[in-house]
Amino acid sequence: MGDEQLQRQDTSTVTAQGGAEAIENLVIVGSGPAGYTAAIYAARANLSPLLVTGFQDGGIPGGQLMTTTHVENFPGFPDGILGPDLMDRCKAQALRWGTRLLEADAEAIDLSQRPFRIRAEGRTIRAQAVILATGASANRLQLPNEERYWSRGISACAICDGATPQFRNEELAVVGGGDSACEEAVYLTKYGSHVHLIVRGAQLRASAAMADRVLANPAITVHWRSQVADAGGDDQWMSAITLKDTVDGSTRELPVRGLFYAIGHTPNTRLVKDQLQLNSAGYLITQPGRPETSIEGVYAAGDVADAEWRQGITAAGSGCQAALAAERWLSHHNLAVAVRRDQLEPTAVGEPKRTAISDEANFDPSTLWQKGGYALRKLYHDSPNPLLVVYTSPTCGPCHVLKPQLKRVLEELGGRAQGVEIDIEADQEIAVQAGVTGTPMVQLFCRKELKQQWKGVKQRSEFRQAIEELLAVTA
């Protein structure tokens, strides 16, 4: 597109401060390593980027690294770092430099007109430039009984759900033959009595080091040339899977209480599939070695355009490229309105604060958010207020996403409701009593009565509405 055509756009109402009439300089869609790195660069270039984090469509805020434990290959962390902690740091760095977040899914993207249009949370956002960093989503097998046993034995995230009581000392299965499948199989030996790895072919696609770890582990049996055909069990929980031999088609039952999917990812390009060039697997096509897509002013970063490397650091690197390219393009066409900083050096973020486990000595009945069985028992029995109990496990990325959302709800309610976090690994008895089948799980109690229960990450408004309804009844 020529300069003239771009500059003919009316930029007289352009402001980067938000508001109904504002045209954003740059909207970044996606909050994985690619999205946050793009945001850090764009924010430091005074573009005041708006980052649409995503919520449920195509993963969770923070992206795929929220579903893993130790990341040992991201430079700068010699002893490794937990995936969710790494993403918390990326987010904090992006915010520190002035990135604005919209915690929602982009529901539609219209690249046919300028400024581009992004619909999210009922708003239409106009943007001069867009970076697509929507990553990739975990594939499912689409078994006949998949819906029935989803979260009742079947899970797409061993790291999130492995610590669930129902999996303890039980036989478990992982399906897949790549690095993720191997990592999950090894991880699950911590909880299950034995792990079966179901592999379609005759060899593992994982790296040699990973494959060796699996093959040498006596707690793992590999079922070669096998496919999962279905899952079975009773109304409560899955108890077996049907394996089909990929050579002769014969079937057999394998009694397992858990089935974990690790069968690859599909790029999240649904919103732009008829607008931008994609390859046959659905990945965005960019100029070779560069972030530009088939439409000028639209850039791709991370796994959404990368079927080959798919690493945190490559995603971050391409996020940097996309932001620099967008900045150059915006300034070349005089389309950006730079913000002026009050403070040249924004305040340091510091280390994240952790909630201490409450006990007799430090328990305070008026504290908004506490942790552990002691606080739960005290508030459950003594407090007249609605009580949100969130069940988490230490390595669960979605739990990491949910906790700040719940804390915000409680803050907004100004102390009229309280929250307690239960780590199901530390408080296994409580998890069993509460019937936890995966994390995160949230229960809302009022005066010793269970009022509502949620599984997985939900919108803040759902929790707030449920508590407000309770407050209205009990007032």
Ligand X SMILES: Cc1cc2nc3c(=O)[nH]c(=O)nc-3n(C[C@H](O)[C@H](O)[C@H](O)COP(=O)(O)OP(=O)(O)OC[C@H]3O[C@@H](n4cnc5c(N)ncnc54)[C@H](O)[C@@H]3O)c2cc1C
Contacts with ligand X by CB under 6 A lie at 29-35, 52-54, 57-65, 67-68, 71, 73-74, 105-106, 133-136, 180, 268, 271, 302-304, 310-313, 315
If DSSP codes are grouped into helix, strand and coil, which group holds residue 210? helix
Q: In terms of Cα–Cα distance, which of 67, 160, 73 is closest to 438?
A: 160
53 or 128, CB closer to ligand X? 53
The contacts of residue 455 (CB under 8 Å, 6+ apart) are 151, 437, 438, 440, 441
271 or 424, CB closer to ligand X? 271
Smallest distance from ligand X to CB 105, Å: 4
63 or 438, CB closer to ligand X? 63
Which member of 90, 182, 320, 396 is catalytic?
396
Give the DSSP H/E element, type plus range, for residue 405: helix 397-412
Smallest distance from ligand X to CB 246, Å: 25
Distance CA 151, CA 231 (A): 13
- What b/e string do you get for 402-429 counting C-beta neighbours within 10 Å, with b at 16 or more? bbebbbebbeebeeebbbbbbbbbbbee
Give the DSSP H/E element, type plus range, for residue 421: strand 418-423
Smallest distance from ligand X to CB 433, Å: 30
Q: In terms of Cα–Cα distance, which of 131, 47, 137, 96 is closest to 319?
A: 131
265 or 378, CB closer to ligand X? 265
Q: What proportions of the chain, in percent to the nearest 5, are helix, strand and coil? A: 30, 25, 45
Which member of 90, 157, 320, 399 is catalytic?
399
Entry field: residues in the chain: 475
Q: What one-character-per-residue DSSP string does 164-203 give?
A: -GGGTTSEEEEE-SSHHHHHHHHHHTTTSSEEEEE-SSSS
CA 468 to chain CA centroid, Å, is 27
Beta bridge partners of 390: 421, 442
Q: In terms of Cα–Cα distance, which of 360, 367, 374 is closest to 426?
A: 374
270 or 341, CB closer to ligand X? 270
Smallest distance from ligand X to CB 80, Å: 9
Beta bridge partners of 418: 387
- The phi and psi torsions of 120 (rounded to 5 degrees) equal -155, 135
Smallest distance from ligand X to CB 115, Å: 18
Smallest distance from ligand X to CB 448, Å: 37
Greatest CA separation for the chain = 71
Residue 388 contacts residue 417 (beta carbons within 8 Å):
yes
Smallest distance from ligand X to CB 102, Å: 9
60 or 431, CB closer to ligand X? 60
- The phi and psi torsions of 446 (rounded to 5 degrees) equal -145, 125
80 or 346, CB closer to ligand X? 80
Whether 446 is catalytic is: no
Smallest distance from ligand X to CB 403, Å: 17
Token representation of residue 257: 């209480």
Residue in this structure with the two tokens 């937990």, named with its chain if needed = 82
Whether 396 is catalytic is: yes
2 or 78, CB closer to ligand X? 78
Distance CA 67, CA 446 (A): 32
Residues recognised as catalytic:
396, 399
